[in-house]
Chains A and B, each alone.
Chain A
């Protein structure tokens, strides 16, 4: 699976949009971009995933660049409960596993 690079930490004010970047310049054509998050002392939680097109669900939006070498996870109106470590994972389809990196620690402040 391709390697990802994320900032170590980010801050965001409550109510504002949180934009979390991820670089995956070695991504292959059959690899998807996944985002999970881990709130302190809890298990990881799936957020969203995509292949080429931008995706949106009730939790977030995923913007993937046209060359697929980077992506951005957008939390449109961050709340204090969104404080967590966010993991960007590139994974091929089929039977491959999730490989978690260091992620980005997002701190949402009042």
Chain B
């Protein structure tokens, strides 16, 4: 009965590969987010979707493409992986786009070799 879940938890891959990270929330929330936490532990917003519609894109390279098949899912696909993409990626959700509280998933640690 996990509220916000992500798969996989760990992802190790070679430079140049394409990979996806999946996120699902069972809270009935309208809004979902992707954050990136780099090696210096800074947590930065990447994308936000509201009811399957992209509402925030924080100048993320277009190698990153979020996809929301329905409002309970927000997947992150990354093309042509680079060393600098190594980080922990967190998915989050909130009841609405203007809601105070965001609920975060456990994170996916991506390592690009």
B98 touches which of A42, A45, A94 (Cβ 8 Å): A94
Whole-angstrom distance between the alpha carbons of A107 and B22 in the complex?
Answer: 33
Please, what's the 1-or-0 string for B10-30, where 1 marks a CB less than 8 Å from any CB in chain A? 000000000000000000000
B residues in contact with A98, CB < 8 Å: 45, 102
Interface residues of A in 53-108 (CB under 8 A from B): 85, 87, 93-95, 97-100, 102
- Asked whether, in the complex, the Cβ of A43 is within 8 Å of the Cβ of B41, the reply is no
B residues in contact with A94, CB < 8 Å: 98
B residues in contact with A85, CB < 8 Å: 41
A32 touches which of B43, B100, B104, B107 (Cβ 8 Å): B100
Interface residues of B in 4-59 (CB under 8 A from A): 4, 33, 41-45, 48, 55-56, 58
Task: Decide: A93 near B98, CB < 8 A? Known: A41-B107, A46-B103.
Answer: yes
- Asked whether, in the complex, the Cβ of A100 is within 8 Å of the Cβ of B98, the reply is no
- Asked whether, in the complex, the Cβ of B97 is within 8 Å of the Cβ of A100, the reply is no
Give the number of residues in B that approach A within 8 Å (Cβ atoms): 23
- B92 interface residue per 8 A CB criterion: yes
A43 touches which of B44, B45, B90 (Cβ 8 Å): B90
B residues in contact with A97, CB < 8 Å: 33, 45, 48, 56, 58
Spell out B's residues near A (CB within 8 Å).
Answer: 4, 33, 41-45, 48, 55-56, 58, 90, 92, 97-98, 100-107
Pull 26 A–B residue pairs with CB atoms less than 8 Å apart, ordered by A: A34-B100, A38-B43, A42-B107, A43-B4, A43-B92, A43-B105, A43-B106, A43-B107, A44-B43, A45-B104, A46-B100, A46-B102, A49-B100, A87-B43, A95-B55, A95-B98, A97-B33, A97-B45, A97-B56, A97-B58, A98-B45, A100-B42, A100-B43, A100-B44, A102-B41, A102-B42
Spell out A's residues near B (CB within 8 Å).
Answer: 32, 34, 38, 41-46, 49, 85, 87, 93-95, 97-100, 102
